[in-house]
Structure 1
Amino acid sequence: MSLVAVGACYVDTILTTPHYPGEDEKLRASSISRRRGGNCPNSLEVLQQLTAHGRSMTGLSLDLVAVLPAKSSIASQQIQSAFEPRVQLSHCIYREKFEEPASSYIFKSQSTDSRTIVNYNELPEMTIEEFKRIADELGPKATWFHFEGRIPDVTLACIHYLRQRFPLVRVSVEAEKPARPGLQELAMEADVVFYSKSWTQGQGYLSAKECLEKQSSIVRKASLLFCTWGQDGAVALDMETGNLIHSPAYLIADSKVVDTIGAGDTFIAGMLYGLNCQQESWDLSQKLSFANRVAGMKVTQEGFSGLDGALELNP
């Protein structure tokens, strides 16, 4: 079995500031950190921990498909060393004329406990022809493709190619950015859809439950729908049975929110683990609870290390 995640890989620079700077204001940051980012890479970083965890070790292999700068660049070498050998980067697309990776500059305000993100990316996006070549190379060993939903027109063509060439493969997509057109069309072609709170609110839905109930009449091909809602937890809809399940947010006693960056990606990792590695062992409610647990653990710490500890408790 192989799970393939398709999305952008960023290098994040995170500045923690007392408040957001005003125009032409000089402000001193209280801390700075740098790490590899991007929705799919974040999810894979968590998945590699879960799939390699002691008695929970699985035979699921993990592949990243992302556009990276020149293979010899410092950024690409750092990304490779962070992932391999547990996450394979052999199917990434290297742009040999570029040295700089896609980058995010994240400002975290201590006064509001919120964040503002500025992205920079000069790397040409993946084309459908490049994806077809990669999909053919992976062949039938790839049992699941997860798409960030980054470039919807190309992603939609990728899904159509998979349906034609490898009809048994499962496809999941994210609907995250509210201003990005084409995500609804992606959801209509997927087996599993992950809706973010921001996308849901951007569509005018007032709750996760309302989103899934109304989306269920639109995304007829899907078998499972998920919507996260921050401190209110997450909701899942089994399209085959019509069962709507709510799982409250996982709260750790005497802990506080430290870092929400990548919380949604961590939830997706927990759910992909449940769907691929615990298909028969856990029911949907247990899978949803586990995904919430991993995400809840993540927000109480900087970064993604040690999240396989969620497996120490029964889902």
Structure 2
Amino acid sequence: MSLVAVGACYVDTILTTPRYPGEDEKLRATNISHRRGGNCPNSLEVLQQLVAQSSPAAQVPLNLVTILPARSSVASRQIRDAFEPNVSLDHCIYREEFEEPASSYIIKSQSTGSRTIVNYNELPEMTLDEFVHAISIIKPRPAWFHFEGRVPDVTLTCVRHIRDRFPGAIISVEVEKPGRPGLQGLAVEADVVFYSKGWAQGNGYDSAQECVRKESSLTSNTSLLCCTWGQDGAVALETKSGDIIHSPAYTPLGLQVVDTIGAGDTFIAGMLYGLICKKDTWTLSQKLNMANRLAGTKVAQEGFGGLGHVVVECS
């Protein structure tokens, strides 16, 4: 089985500041860094490390479908160099009339640990026809398709195309951004759904358990629902059994929060690894615990490097 992740790819500029600046204030940053971002690319960056640490039997081809600027642009070349050959970008969609990538400008406050994000993206979004063409030659089949849930109406047509064209495929979606119309309708069509704390609270839920329990009654086709809740860990509900499993956040003695950017993407990477590569050898509790440990390890460091050892420690 191959994994096809579909979502936006950003180039992030991260400024670390002593505190968040006030309006019209001049403030000196203590650090600047640049990295490739975006939900699905972040998850793939972690997944490639986990797969590399696994036995040949657990190897899975990784693919990214995203919109990039001109193929010859500096940004597109850098993104390809960062991923290949471990993650295939052969199915990306290039906007040849644009040179600038989608970009995020992130201010990290050292006093609170929070981050504020300003996005810029002039690249036209993917259409259904472009998606159909992009995935037409992906092998091996069947595949696992994971969607960011970025543009729900277009994503929904893509999901329905997969159902018609590749009935053996498995589909997972992220339900993340509060107030984004259409995400619940998208979740109804998926096999696996990942809910964020922000989305759950925005829809009136007071806990991860309440979110997955009530959402399971609205998603009759879904086999697994997951919801993360920051320091309270994460829960997963298997609809077949109705069991809700809770895993506490990974907070070893002395853990200091350094970088929360991409923690949710790291959790999803851990769950996708468990569901695809350890499908029959790990229990759901083991998969959830590993994903939480992976996310907890990530927030204690800058970036996503060196996370592959977590799967070795959990095996």
TM-score (norm 1): 0.98
Q: Residue 285 of structure 1 corresponds to which residue in structure 2? A: 285
Q: Residue 216 of structure 2 corresponds to which residue in structure 1? A: 216
Aligned residues of 1:51 and 1:60 also touching (Cα < 8 A):
yes
1:127 Cα shift?
0.3
Query: Aligned equivalents of 2:269 and 2:140: distance in 1?
Result: 22
Q: Residue 34 of structure 2 corresponds to which residue in structure 1? A: 34
1:141-220 alignment runs, 5 A limit: 141-220=141-220
The answer to whether residue 70 in structure 2 is matched with residue 83 in structure 1 is no
Q: Per the alignment, do residues 256 and 292 of structure 1 end up closer, same or farther by CA in structure 2, a change over 3 Å counting?
A: same
Query: Aligned equivalents of 2:55 and 2:163: distance in 1?
Result: 34
Residue identity in the other structure for 2:301? Q
Q: Residue 266 of structure 2 corresponds to which residue in structure 1? A: 266
Q: Residue 6 of structure 1 corresponds to which residue in structure 2? A: 6
Q: Residue 64 of structure 2 corresponds to which residue in structure 1? A: 64
Q: Per the alignment, do residues 139 and 49 of structure 1 end up closer, same or farther by CA in structure 2, a change over 3 Å counting?
A: closer
1:29 Cα shift?
0.6
Query: Aligned equivalents of 2:255 and 2:216: distance in 1?
Result: 36
Residue identity in the other structure for 2:198? S
Query: Aligned equivalents of 2:287 and 2:271: distance in 1?
Result: 6
Query: Aligned equivalents of 1:162 and 1:242: distance in 2?
Result: 27
Query: The residue matched to 1:173 in structure 2 has which SS?
Result: strand
Q: Which runs of 5+ in 1 are unaligned?
A: none
1:59 Cα shift?
2.6
Q: Per the alignment, do residues 223 and 233 of structure 1 end up closer, same or farther by CA in structure 2, a change over 3 Å counting?
A: same
1:57 Cα shift?
6.8
Aligned residues of 2:197 and 2:227 also touching (Cα < 8 A):
yes
1:135 Cα shift?
2.4
Query: The residue matched to 2:58 in structure 1 has which SS?
Result: coil
Aligned residues of 1:51 and 1:57 also touching (Cα < 8 A):
no
1:137 Cα shift?
2.1
Deviation digits for residues 252-299 of structure 1 (CA, Å, limit 9, x no counterpart): 322201000000000000000000000111010100001101111100
Aligned residues of 1:41 and 1:64 also touching (Cα < 8 A):
yes
1:56 Cα shift?
6.9
Residue identity in the other structure for 2:281? S
Q: Which runs of 5+ in 2 are unaligned?
A: none
The answer to whether residue 122 in structure 2 is matched with residue 111 in structure 1 is no
Deviation digits for residues 215-250 of structure 1 (CA, Å, limit 9, x no counterpart): 010011000000000010000000000010000011
Query: Aligned equivalents of 1:279 and 1:138: distance in 2?
Result: 22
Deviation digits for residues 49-99 of structure 1 (CA, Å, limit 9, x no counterpart): 000115477330000000000010000000000000000000000100100
Query: Aligned equivalents of 1:251 and 1:206: distance in 2?
Result: 22
After TM superposition, the structure 1 stretch with the greater mean CA deviation from structure 2, 125-134 or 17-26, is 17-26
Count the aligned residue pairs: 315
TM-score (norm 2): 0.98
1:110-129 alignment runs, 5 A limit: 110-129=110-129
Q: Per the alignment, do residues 39 and 60 of structure 1 end up closer, same or farther by CA in structure 2, a change over 3 Å counting?
A: same
Aligned residues of 2:52 and 2:59 also touching (Cα < 8 A):
no
1:141 Cα shift?
2.2
Identity %: 68
Residue identity in the other structure for 1:73? S
1:5 Cα shift?
0.1
Residue identity in the other structure for 1:273? Y
1:142 Cα shift?
4.7
Aligned residues of 1:251 and 1:296 also touching (Cα < 8 A):
yes
Query: Aligned equivalents of 1:20 and 1:240: distance in 2?
Result: 46
Query: Aligned equivalents of 2:232 and 2:56: distance in 1?
Result: 29
Residue identity in the other structure for 2:127? T
1:140 Cα shift?
5.8
Query: The residue matched to 2:227 in structure 1 has which SS?
Result: strand
Query: Aligned equivalents of 1:110 and 1:214: distance in 2?
Result: 37
Query: The residue matched to 1:137 in structure 2 has which SS?
Result: coil
1:139 Cα shift?
5.7
Query: Aligned equivalents of 2:56 and 2:178: distance in 1?
Result: 36
Q: Residue 309 of structure 1 corresponds to which residue in structure 2? A: 309
Aligned residues of 2:2 and 2:62 also touching (Cα < 8 A):
yes
Query: The residue matched to 1:272 in structure 2 has which SS?
Result: helix
Aligned residues of 2:91 and 2:135 also touching (Cα < 8 A):
no
Residue identity in the other structure for 1:212? V
Aligned residues of 1:140 and 1:166 also touching (Cα < 8 A):
no
The answer to whether residue 100 in structure 2 is matched with residue 100 in structure 1 is yes
Query: Aligned equivalents of 1:151 and 1:49: distance in 2?
Result: 28
